[in-house]
């Protein structure tokens, strides 16, 4: 079947690519809040790619009874919004409006695109975090950050971390509990959203930290 594409649609293809590919150069800003230095900070695009790699690594070794294609699509799409609104973290003032900003950004990206609803539906499913695929993808998103924190650990200097991090109530509680590494803070925070399988991965990572 011959597909007819208008010049306007061709322009939109290039515009979309130009916008979203900026993620290659947008740092995941949260890492710098922890006093990270002496190492290149991963970009948002690298995070999304590594999420996909982690998912393939897991799903190629075990059948979880979930739609693999949907999981990969969700992980690829879940941070497209940041090409428009930037990387907003828990410690940023804009975090309270993040959901609203993300909705606007995604509508801006997929507005007036013939098949845009298909992708918006996947993003919505990921954000609602109810289906098996969304739950799995969300945990991948979290655990990839935990892994990255582990690899960055030797490059963090908490004495140079920003006050909004050091004064955070939860971080203070973790330090009082005896945790001192940034990766430990991440793992303790994320454990509550992990299922039994991901907790096994956490256990492995904690053993690696002790070595």
Tell me the mean pLDDT in the region 118-136.
Answer: 98
How many distinct structural domains can be found in the chain? 1
Q: What is the largest CA-CA distance in the chain?
A: 65
Residue 183 within any structural domain of the chain? yes
Residue 196 within any structural domain of the chain? yes
Residue 28 within any structural domain of the chain? yes
Residue 104 within any structural domain of the chain? yes
Would you say residue 1 has pLDDT above 70? no
Amino acid 9: pLDDT:
93
| CATH number for 171 | 1.10.3210.10
Would you say residue 38 has pLDDT above 70? yes
pLDDT tens across 131-146, in order? 999 999 999 999 999 9
Closest CA to 47 of 18, 78, 68, 73: 78
Residue 131 within any structural domain of the chain? yes
Q: What pTM value is reported for the model?
A: 0.94
Residue 1 within any structural domain of the chain? no
């Amino acid at each position: 079947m011959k597909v007819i594409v208008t010049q306007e649609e061709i322009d939109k293809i290039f515009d979309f690519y130009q916008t979203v590919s900026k993620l290659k150069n947008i740092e995941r800003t949260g890492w710098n809040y922890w006093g990270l230095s002496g190492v290149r900070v991963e970009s948002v695009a690298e995070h999304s790619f590594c999420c996909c790699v982690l998912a393939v690594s897991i799903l190629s070794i075990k059948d979880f009874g979930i739609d693999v294609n949907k999981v990969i699509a969700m992980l690829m799409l879940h941070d497209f919004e940041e090409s428009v609104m930037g990387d907003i973290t828990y410690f940023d003032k804009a975090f309270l409006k993040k959901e609203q900003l993300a909705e606007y950004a995604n509508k801006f990206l997929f507005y007036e695109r013939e098949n845009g609803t298909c992708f918006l539906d996947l993003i919505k499913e990921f954000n609602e975090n109810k289906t098996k695929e969304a739950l799995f993808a969300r945990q991948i998103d979290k655990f990839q950050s935990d892994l990255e924190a582990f690899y960055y650990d030797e490059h963090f200097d908490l004495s140079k971390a920003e006050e909004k991090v050091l004064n955070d109530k939860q971080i203070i509680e973790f330090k009082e509990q005896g945790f001192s590494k940034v990766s430990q803070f991440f793992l303790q925070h994320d454990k509550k959203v992990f299922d039994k399988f991901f907790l096994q991965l956490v256990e492995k990572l904690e053993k690696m930290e002790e070595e």
